[in-house]
């Protein structure tokens, strides 16, 4: 199967590193014109140069930042809502401000952009909206309840939007990665397992942490998530909409997708 996204413009939020950067690269390799996004202008410029795309620095976790991005980029064919934040914190110690911040960044960033771009896709009769959720959205992590809450919310938003645009040629889906080897995870490992090399840190994390039930026995790589997102963004995935598509390495112990 050859995925050809030539002539399509793809915006990937939070794409200066990790899953976002890997996704922008994969979409570019499939022929899409990519738009890289992040909060830091220098990092956005560097990533755009690496990937051969356009860069727009904007904090889409705020209404003002989302509006600034939309002003510079009125239309896209493919929207990948990847921007997100995570942190561990005991649930009864999470203050209101953190609940609201997580919701703004992880949920409303995608809502605001999809609210603008999706109706315009419908007018043209083709479009792809992808929310990068998480397996945490269906099995809430005890030490990151506020994060899990936002990932569950993305599932509801995605399904509702897909229903709203049914029969239009536009699809809306969620992709659910398991724990993924990202810069944020590496920083967390440095705190959890100081002095160990990366391979041993991964082994310890899988054995002791949230990836203990992984059928792969390792963390997901950003490129593996990007491959599924690229498929979901393609013509070949035209019959997949309103779905929650797993790329968690079998972490969630269920036969129901």
What amino acid positions are annotated as catalytic residues?
Answer: 147
Instruction: Give residues with Cβ within 8 angstroms of 62, minimum separation 6.
Output: 104
**Helical spans, DSSP H, in 52-108:** 63-72, 96-103
Which of 245, 246, 244, 241 is closest to 163 using CA atoms? Answer: 241
CA distances in angstroms from 9 to 37, 38, 203, listed in the order given: 13, 17, 39
Instruction: Give residues with Cβ within 8 angstroms of 216, minimum separation 6.
Output: 249, 250
* Beta-carbon count within 10 A of 111 CB: 18
Place of tokens 């390799």: 29
């Amino acid at each position: 199967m050859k995925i050809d996204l030539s002539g399509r413009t793809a915006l990937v939020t939070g794409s200066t590193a990790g899953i976002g950067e890997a996704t922008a690269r994969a979409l570019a390799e499939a022929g899409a014109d990519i738009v890289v996004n992040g909060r830091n202008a220098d990092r956005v410029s560097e990533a755009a140069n690496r990937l051969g795309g356009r860069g727009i620095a904007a904090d889409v976790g705020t209404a003002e930042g989302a509006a600034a991005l939309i002003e510079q980029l009125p239309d896209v064919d493919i929207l990948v809502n990847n921007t997100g934040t995570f942190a561990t914190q005991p649930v009864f110690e999470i203050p209101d401000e953190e609940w609201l911040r997580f919701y703004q960044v992880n949920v409303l960033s995608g809502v605001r952009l999809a609210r603008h771009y999706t109706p315009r896709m419908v007018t043209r009769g083709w479009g792809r909206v992808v929310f990068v959720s998480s397996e945490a959205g269906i099995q809430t992590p005890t030490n990151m309840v506020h994060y899990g809450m936002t990932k569950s919310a993305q599932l509801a938003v995605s399904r509702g939007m897909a229903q709203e645009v049914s029969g239009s040629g536009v699809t809306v889906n969620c992709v659910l990665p398991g724990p993924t080897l990202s810069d944020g995870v590496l920083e967390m490992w440095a705190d959890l397992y100081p002095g160990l090399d990366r391979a041993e840190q991964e082994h310890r994390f899988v054995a002791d942490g949230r990836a203990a039930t992984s059928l792969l026995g390792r963390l997901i790589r950003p490129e593996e998530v990007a491959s599924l997102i690229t498929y979901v963004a393609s013509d070949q995935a035209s019959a997949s909409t309103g779905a929650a598509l797993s790329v968690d390495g079998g972490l969630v112990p269920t036969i129901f997708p």
